[in-house]
Chains A and B, each alone.
Chain A
Amino acid sequence: MSRLEILKTYKIFIGGQFPRTESGRYYTPLDKKGQPLANMCLSSRKDFRNAVVAARKAFGSWSEKTAFNRGQILYRIAEMLEGRKTQFVEELVKQGSTEAKAKQEVELAIDRCVYYAGWCDKYQQVFSSVNPVASSHFNFSALEPMGVVGIIAPQTNGLIGLVSTILPVIAGGNTCIVLASENLPLCAITFAEVLATSDLTAGVVNILTGTEKELVEQFHSHMDVNAVIYAGGNKEHALAIETGADCNVKRVFVYANDFTKATDENPYYITDLQELKTTWHPIENVGGATSNY
């Protein structure tokens, strides 16, 4: 007698927890054959707001973690992802990928995690500077995370697009609210389960499922979101975000690439979401240049 399969319930990921959408609504994305994939949460503006609160709360402790520690955690994400490889491949296939392409995408995602894990304690050195000011001051510029980042992940490539937009943001010490691909959302929630078991501080990454159409306004109008990455590929939505970002002078980045190529990973994806802080301090010049040391 065949066994009845236990179906997975896909929930959303906020503050390290897996709640259902507070709205109680769901939607049912279809696979290529027109069969329902799963019942996904149709997140509401309140879910978005809760996610921002969680992300803001997590920002202090995440950004103040040592860079080394952040690197360890990101590497741990890669490990956990590797351990769940089969599940991701299955989900990608379910969403219409071939077995081979799915495997390739998962492996690329794992390697990309490792790539950004490595950057955690290096980009600061590459992009910081000691500035030779013409006065008796020590002056240096260093990068700091921008804060809370809204990410609308690519609609295509449900896993690699997601990983490629989240990882550089959190590698740099930011926290984020991510809207997963509307039609390919399965991996996003499974990835959330990976994150939840990777020592990542709760609230650093918050993942919602639902429609861009409904939530795009929240991304640009929320006053406690410091920056938005739009990778959804919809020109209208990109324009809406750019146009609405002036409410609190949000930084907006529109990425048009599909994140499948080798050039789709580089530290500039980290520095996009960094502020540059310049610090001055006097140098007491006792003795001075005329003294012999």
Chain B
Amino acid sequence: MNRNKTFKNIPDFKLSPTVDKVGVEERVARFQTRSIKNESKVQGLKLVLNMIDLTTLEGKDTPGKVRQLCYKAQHLHDLQEGLPTVAAICVYPTMVAEAKKALGNSGIKVASVSTAFPSGQSTMEIKLLDTKFAVDNGADEIDMVISRGKFLSGDYNFVFDEIAAIKEACGKARLKVIFETGELASLDQVRRASDIAMYAGADFIKTSTGKIQPAATMQVTYTMLCAIKDFYRKTGVKVGMKPAGGISSSKLALHNLVMVKETLGNEWLNNEWFRFGASSLANDVLMQLVKQETGHYQSADYFSID
């Protein structure tokens, strides 16, 4: 479901809609008062599991580590029946081949970060090579970072062109565009970055690399969801959303689902259009699911760490 549509009327990104942060905080607080109980909670938690991009992005990653993670992705908690798998594994380009092999025909996607992740401080040439390498190794999805320096200095054309070029290099792989919202400082900038990325060809927009705090706050995610909504109304093109970094509890994940449901509706409530970039979220969700079934609070000792 990647797209290759280009737009005739590109808006002036200096004129992106403004965002009132206090208003966003109030809206987010309303999502957080939603009470998710019983059946709704179980269904929601399974949905969350199925939306996870299980992630390892460390300097010390090895093929062995990646293989373990890939096993976990397919066997989240074998003691529990009826669990879905995660949506994807998210790794560095050098680990794509290993992950692809380990996941086989499980249906779990392999996502690769690229464009000199996480800083994005490199030449265009290297970023394109980085991307092509991952795609050639079988990556189904590419998670690129934008050039925050260029963005903050107001060079929106540069950012737009860079995204468009990477999109072209992606071929059939779906492109996720990471803003590193913790470096953009304001929700107005988050909104502007969203508009640029979507018009430049992003299939997904993504909050953060996970390396910078704050990362996927609900305020930021909400702002991006609103941008996706406006974009869909204007162009008829759907764009996915991936909050990444900082979502480690079931409760927060469920509140994210509430936010998606009430902003974009049910058509976005699946892993084709919504993902969580997370490493430790899965186990918390599993513990909650077991608790829902048994009625007993769980210990982390009984859930595998990979």
Touch test A–B (CB under 8 Å): yes
B185, A136: Cβ atoms closer than 8 Å: no
B22, A136: Cβ atoms closer than 8 Å: yes
A284, B185: Cβ atoms closer than 8 Å: no
B22, A137: Cβ atoms closer than 8 Å: yes
By a CB distance below 8 angstroms, the chain A residues around B25 are: 136
A282, B23: Cβ atoms closer than 8 Å: yes
Across the two chains, which residue of chain B brings its CB closest to A284?
B21
Kindly state whether residue B136 has any CB partner on chain A within 8 Å: no
Kindly state whether residue A285 has any CB partner on chain B within 8 Å: yes
B22, A283: Cβ atoms closer than 8 Å: yes
By a CB distance below 8 angstroms, the chain B residues around A137 are: 22
Of A136, A283, A284, A285, chain B has the most CB atoms within 10 Å of the CB of A284
Kindly state whether residue A286 has any CB partner on chain B within 8 Å: yes
C-beta contact mask, A16-30 vs B, less than 8 Å → 1, else 0? Answer: 000000000000000
State which size class the interface on A falls in. Answer: under 10
Kindly state whether residue B186 has any CB partner on chain A within 8 Å: yes
* Number of residues of chain B lying within 8 A (CB) of chain A: 7
By a CB distance below 8 angstroms, the chain B residues around A283 are: 22
Kindly state whether residue B20 has any CB partner on chain A within 8 Å: yes
By a CB distance below 8 angstroms, the chain B residues around A136 are: 22, 25
B186, A286: Cβ atoms closer than 8 Å: yes
A286, B22: Cβ atoms closer than 8 Å: no
Within the complex, what minimum Cβ distance (angstroms) separates B253 from chain A?
Answer: 24
By a CB distance below 8 angstroms, the chain B residues around A282 are: 20-23
By a CB distance below 8 angstroms, the chain A residues around B185 are: 286
Q: Restricting to A106-148, which residues have a CB under 8 Å from any CB of B?
A: 136-137
C-beta contact mask, A255-289 vs B, less than 8 Å → 1, else 0? Answer: 00000000000000000000000000011111000
C-beta contact mask, B1-43 vs A, less than 8 Å → 1, else 0? Answer: 0000000000000000000111101000000000000000000
By a CB distance below 8 angstroms, the chain B residues around A285 are: 21-22
Q: With A and B bound together, what is the CA distance between A20 and B143 in angstroms?
A: 85
Q: With A and B bound together, what is the CA distance between A284 and B23 in angstroms?
A: 9
Across the two chains, which residue of chain B brings its CB closest to A283?
B22
Within the complex, what minimum Cβ distance (angstroms) separates B18 from chain A?
Answer: 11
Q: With A and B bound together, what is the CA distance between A288 and B185 in angstroms?
A: 12
Q: With A and B bound together, what is the CA distance between A282 and B22 in angstroms?
A: 6
By a CB distance below 8 angstroms, the chain A residues around B20 are: 282, 284
By a CB distance below 8 angstroms, the chain A residues around B186 are: 286
By a CB distance below 8 angstroms, the chain A residues around B21 are: 282, 284-286
Within the complex, what minimum Cβ distance (angstroms) separates A74 from chain B?
Answer: 41
Across the two chains, which residue of chain A brings its CB closest to B23?
A282
C-beta contact mask, B153-196 vs A, less than 8 Å → 1, else 0? Answer: 00000000000000000000000000000000110000000000
Q: With A and B bound together, what is the CA distance between A136 and B185 in angstroms?
A: 18
Across the two chains, which residue of chain A brings its CB closest to B21?
A284
Across the two chains, which residue of chain B brings its CB closest to A282?
B22
Within the complex, what minimum Cβ distance (angstroms) separates B90 from chain A?
Answer: 29
Q: With A and B bound together, what is the CA distance between A285 and B25 in angstroms?
A: 10
By a CB distance below 8 angstroms, the chain A residues around B23 are: 282
Q: With A and B bound together, what is the CA distance between A284 and B20 in angstroms?
A: 8
By a CB distance below 8 angstroms, the chain B residues around A284 are: 20-22
11 residue pairs from A and B, CB less than 8 Å apart: A136-B22, A136-B25, A137-B22, A282-B20, A282-B21, A284-B20, A284-B22, A285-B21, A285-B22, A286-B21, A286-B186
Contacts from B to A (Cβ < 8 Å): 20-23, 25, 185-186
Contacts from A to B (Cβ < 8 Å): 136-137, 282-286
Beyond A282-B23, A286-B186, list 14 extra A-B contacts (CB 8 Å).
A136-B22, A136-B25, A137-B22, A282-B20, A282-B21, A282-B22, A283-B22, A284-B20, A284-B21, A284-B22, A285-B21, A285-B22, A286-B21, A286-B185
